Amino acid sequence: MKFLKTVIAPAIAVALASADLHAVSIVPQPTVMRENRSLVYLPSGKLSVYASDESLKSLEKVWAESLEKPYEPGTEKLASGFTRIVSSAVLPKIKSTGNEAKANVRLYIDPALAQEEYVMEVSQEGVSIKGGTAKGVWWGLQSLTQILVQAASSAEPGEPLRTSGLYIQDKPHFSYRGAMLDCCRHFFTVDEVKKFIDILALHKLNTLHWHLTDDQGWRIEIEKYPLLTQVGAVRKETKVGHYNDAGAGYDGIPYGEGCYYTRKDIEDVLAYASARQITVVPEIEMPGHAVAALAGYPWLGCTGGPYEVRTTWGISDDVFCIGKETTFEFLEGVLDEVCSLFPGEYIHVGGDECPAIRWKSCPDCQALMKKEGFSEERQLQGYLLHRIEKYLNSKGKKLIGWDEILEGGVTPTATVMSWRGPQGGINAAKQGNDVVMAPNNFFYLDYYQTASPSANGEPLGIGGYVPLEKCWSFDPYDQLDDDTRKHIKGIQANTWTEYISSFDHVQHMDLPRFSALAEVSWSETRTGYDDFLSRVTSSMKPLYEYFGIIYAPYVFKGVK
Q: Are 318 and 294 in contact (CB under 8 A)?
A: yes
DSSP 555: G
pLDDT of residue 21: 61
- CATH for the stretch 176-557: 3.20.20.80
Q: Coil, strand, or helix at residue 75? A: strand
Q: How many CB atoms lie within 10 A of CB 470?
A: 17
- For residue 205, which of 267, 148, 142, 268 has the smallest C-alpha distance? 142
Q: Could you check whether 10-170 and 176-557 share the same CATH topology?
A: no
pLDDT for the residue numbered 18: 46
Domain boundaries, the chain: 10-170, 176-557
Tens place of pLDDT per residue across the chain (560 aa): 333 332 222 222 333 344 456 689 999 999 999 998 788 888 888 999 999 999 999 999 999 999 999 999 999 999 999 999 999 999 999 999 999 999 999 999 999 999 999 999 999 888 999 999 999 999 999 999 999 999 999 888 888 899 999 999 999 999 999 999 999 999 999 999 999 999 999 999 999 999 999 999 999 999 999 999 999 999 999 999 998 887 779 999 999 999 999 999 999 999 999 999 999 999 999 999 999 999 999 999 999 999 999 999 999 999 999 999 999 999 999 999 999 999 999 999 999 999 999 999 999 999 999 999 999 999 999 999 999 999 999 999 999 999 999 988 888 999 999 999 999 999 999 999 999 999 999 999 999 999 999 999 999 999 999 999 999 999 999 999 999 999 999 999 999 999 999 999 999 999 999 999 999 999 999 999 999 999 999 999 999 999 999 999 999 999 99
Residue 422: exposure state from Cβ atoms within 10 A (0-12, 13-18, ≥19): buried
* Domain 10-170: which CATH number of 1.10.287.3510, 2.102.10.10, 3.30.390.50, 3.30.379.10: 3.30.379.10
Strand partners, 168: 33, 120
Contact 36, 513 (CB under 8 A): no
- Give the pLDDT score at 6: 29
The confidence score (pLDDT) of residue 246 equals 74
Please name the helix (run of DSSP H) or strand (run of DSSP E) that holds residue 364, with its range, or none: helix 363-372
**Would you give the end-to-end CA distance of the chain in angstroms?**
46
Q: Which pLDDT score is estimated for 244?
A: 84
Q: Are 323 and 377 in contact (CB under 8 A)?
A: no
Q: In 3-state terms, what secondary structure has residue 349?
A: strand
Would you please indicate which residues are annotated as catalytic (active-site) residues? 353
Q: For the purposes of burial, counting CB atoms within 10 Å of the CB of 106, is it exposed (0-12), middle (13-18) or buried (19 or more)?
A: buried
State pTM to two decimals.
Answer: 0.95
Nearest residue to 277 (alpha-carbon basis) of 434, 405, 163, 131: 131
DSSP for 395-430 reads TT-EEEEEGGGGTT---TTPEEEE-SSSHHHHHHHH
Compute the Cα dihedral for 407, 408, 409, 413 and give only its sign.
negative
